[in-house]
Structures are given as structure tokens and as C-alpha cells.
Amino acid sequence: MAKATFDLGNAEDIERYLGLDRWAHEGHGIGGLLKVRIEDFRVEEVSRTPALDKKGRFTVVRATLHNWETNRYLRRLAGACGISRKRIFSSGLKDKRAVTTQLLVIDAPRHKVESVEIPDTELEILGRTHQKVGMSDHDGNRFTITVRGCCDADGSPLDAKEAMRRVLEIREGMAQRLGDDAFPNWIGPQRFGATRPVTPKVGRAVVEGDYERAVDLYLGMPGTRMTDEVSAFRKMWLDSKDPATCLEQAPDHLGYEKSILETLVDNPENYLKGFRALPPSLQLLTIHSLQSLAFNHSLAGRLEAGLDLLEPELGDLVAPIQASGRVDVSKMALVTETNLDRCKRNCKLGRLAVTGPLPGQDASLAGGVPGEIEAKALQTTELENLDWRVKKIPNLSTNGTRRPLSVVFRDFNVEEATLLSEDSFSERWEKGPDKADRWHPEGANLRIRFTLPPGTYATVLMREFMRSPLDHY
């Protein structure tokens, strides 16, 4: 099979590379732009408060962050509490350009936490507990998202009535194909980088043990919407490989890049150590994003072949759906002639989910036609013969797992949103749309609310409604 080639300086090729070039329903979409204001994207974690006990070791808080990347905030919070970052526990990372609310469990005295003052954040002390929280320990996320500047594919603005009609039409179309309020469980562009899909490239270099290439990519790979300052910095690294000089020129907001460079200044050409200057969660994200390519391409291949995402085929691997919406991959079953009817019935009842691959050392692939699609996806993404053991950083090794091909959203609501005040404009909104954009400043503004299970991307549901380029999310 010929190797697929992608020009990652081209927006459409980025969509193809990420496997995000298919739709559940062929609707016109509403276009528009997300995150014009920070307040336009709100995420509230749906989670149960750990059992409280006045004698508990840990302090439980509800943290609300305005425009904070989660890892950066947790490092800042740890410093303010005088503890290691490893002593703060959360159930997941949230969107940066957003207002987010989530539970944190902090291994620090209450008075230390109460004294914390960090700009653009609020901490509500809930009490003490003996319990930690871990990744995906929450029940889901409630989103309130405002899309602004709705417009047609030809660039003409849409009014609110027509925009809402299209949203409801697409919702109905997805329901007819996938089931009520179900949508394809794509892994969203923020896993990869919508304008600079660097994380899977870095992940491949790490899995292959080439840490110099991993660092070169992280520091130097260009993107489609870089400022002149960032573009000059990335070119400087690729041209010079001089960490000290590049550190002087690095823009302040490139904090992770600066951490790598600072490490390389003290440890010349120790690229392994340079890569490990990234937070552990970000190191792991590079591996997960590489796996995610295979999943998205499997999902895209399935839609292209006309296979159902909800109803299983012979050879599919299905897994029980838990109350939270997560699947129990430890209890997966192969769909055979013997259990096909039973599996179909339980999938329709929402008890089982058809899954797709997140490859690793011991990952299972489907059989039959679904298995052929998955094998093709692995070939397209050049993952079919990869050794997923990361010898120099063993905790990044992965056995692989499976992920539901479709999920259900709940508590859906759409309404017209208010206009922006003049002092609320983002820089991109103020500049106006480019030729390749799909938004119009005179287009309608819609507010859409829904709840999703853990690990599911709000942006991919919004993408179904909007049909905008990836850099609009």
C-alpha cells in the first residue's frame, strides 16, 4: 500500500492527517467561530465530592479557572501551597481558553490552601477527605458553548432562525444514522494541535527512541497560524540548534519550549533530558495522540465504508457501557454468528458499545470487515509495525486499549446568544475573517449546552454542527 503523504502547512491536509475529514450527517452546518471570548466556552465537571472527614489528610476544593492551561495552573497552585505538583490530584485536563470548574484534591493543610491567591482563579474549599481522585474519576462534563458569526459555506451571514434550524436538522440526521443524540466519538483537534499537529509527530519519535527528533519537532515544527515572533523562534532552532540563543529569543508564552531549552543549556545535547523537561502528562499526551490517529482513521474508514457505528458487525469488539458513559474494556467480547443478535440488541439498548482501536503492545484488533478497516487505518498512519515499548521512559509504554466509536450527549439546548460588546472582541474577531475562514461578524450567535461522558470532546460535536475549519475550535 502506498504511503499517505500530508502537507501539514495546509489546513485540509491537516484534517486528512488527523482523520477528521468525515461527517456523521451531510448537512450544511452553521459555520462560526468558537472562543471569541474566554467566557464563550464554559466547562463544568460533573463529579461526586469525595467523602468528607474533618480528620482527612487532603483538602478538597472546587477550582474555577479563567484562561488557564490545567498543568500550568496546578504547578502554580503547588508552588503557592509549598508542595510538589505530584501532591495535587485531579480527574482530567480541561480546555485552556475557557472558564472551567473542576474538583481538586490537595495534599496540603486547609490554611495553606485558603491563603492561595492566583489571578483569574477561584477556590471553593469543600472540606477534608481521606480519598484521592484519579484520571477520569468524574462522571462527565457540562458544556455551555457560544458560537459566533454563523455563516454559510459561501461566507454569507446566517440569521439565528436559520442557524438553529440547521443545528436541529443535523441533530436529527445524526439520530437517524446513529441513534438518539449519538455522535461519532472522534478524538478532537486539541489532542493533536489544530494548526500545528505536533504531538503525534513527537510521540512517534519518542516511541522510536529518537529524542533529538522529538525535541526538534517540539521546538521547531511550524504551524499554519504562527505569529512572526513564534515563526522566527522555531526557524532559529532548526537553523542553529543553539539552546542559549534560542532561549533568549523564545516568546514568554512558550513556557514548555523554554523549559526544554533551559534543560539543554545545562545539559548540552542531552535530548532525552530535554524532552523530560515537559510535564509527565504532556509527555504521555504525545503517545496518546499517536494512538489517536489510528482511532480517528478507523472511525473515518468505517463511515466511508457505510458501516454503522452503533450496530455491530461480525468481527466487531463490543464493551459494556458503565453508568458514567465510560466503557469497561476488561469485559470486551468478539461479535460472532452465535451472539450477533444479542449484541445488536444490547447496543441499541445502550448497554454495549462498538469500539475502535487505540493501538499498543497488546491491543486487540477487530475481525472481519471491521478488522480490515482497522488494519488499513494502521497502515495509513504507519503504526502497524510499531514497538510501543518506550525503553528509556518505561511509564510511557502502552499496551493499547479500545474506545467507543460513538457516544451520547445529554441535556441538549440551543438558543440565540447576545451580541458582543466592543471591549470583548478577541484579536482574531477584530481582524475579521480570512479567505479560508468560515465566519462572518454579522452572523448569528448561538449558545449550545450539552453534557458529555468523560474523555469525550465537545469540539467534535460542535464540529458536526458547524462544519468550520479545525482552527475555528
Domain boundaries, the chain: 11-36+148-185+415-472, 48-129, 199-278, 297-404
Res 4: pLDDT: 66
Res 192: pLDDT: 95
In order of 94, 317, 406, the CA distances from 174 in angstroms are 26, 22, 11
How far is the C-alpha of 135 from the C-alpha of 137, rounded, in Å? 6
Q: Catalytic residue among 40, 95, 137, 152, which?
A: 95
Residue in 135, 136, 113 with CA at minimum distance from that of residue 124: 113
Element (H, E) at 142: strand 140-148
In order of 24, 106, 207, the CA distances from 176 in angstroms are 10, 45, 41
Q: What band does 358 get if pLDDT is binned at 50, 70 and 90?
A: very high
Cell, residue 173: 440526521
Res 8: pLDDT: 83
The per-residue pLDDT of the chain, averaged, comes to 94
How many CB atoms are located within 10 Å of the residue 435 CB?
Answer: 5
User: In sequence order, which residues have a C-beta less than 8 Å from that of residue 181 and are 6 or more positions away?
Assistant: 171, 174, 175, 408, 409, 410, 412
Res 422: pLDDT: 65
Asked if 216 is an active-site residue, the reply is no
* DSSP states along 446-459: EEEEEEE-TT--HH
Per-residue pLDDT of 451-467, as tens digits, reads 999 889 999 999 999 99
Res 225: pLDDT: 87
Q: pTM (2 decimals)? A: 0.91
pLDDT at 1 exceeding the cut of 60: no
CATH of domain 297-404: 3.30.2350.20
How many CB atoms are located within 10 Å of the residue 348 CB?
Answer: 12
Per-residue pLDDT of 290-345, as tens digits, reads 999 999 999 999 999 999 999 999 999 999 998 877 899 999 999 999 999 999 99
pLDDT at 89 exceeding the cut of 90: yes
The CATH classification of domain 48-129, taken from the options 3.30.390.30, 3.30.70.3160, 3.90.1150.10, 3.20.20.70: 3.30.70.3160
pLDDT at 421 exceeding the cut of 90: no
Yes or no: say if 181 and 80 are a contact pair by the CB < 8 Å rule: no
Per-residue pLDDT of 161-193, as tens digits, reads 999 999 999 999 999 999 899 999 999 998 999
CATH class of 199-278: mainly alpha
pLDDT at 357 exceeding the cut of 60: yes
Amino acid letter at 266? D
Cell, residue 301: 474508514
Per-residue pLDDT of 98-149, as tens digits, reads 999 999 999 999 999 999 999 999 999 999 999 998 877 888 999 999 999 9
For residue 84, with 0-12 CB atoms within 10 Å meaning exposed, 13-18 middle and 19 or more buried, which class applies?
exposed
How far is the C-alpha of 326 from the C-alpha of 18, rounded, in Å? 23
How far is the C-alpha of 431 from the C-alpha of 443, rounded, in Å? 16
Instruction: Find the mean pLDDT for residues 419-443.
Output: 86
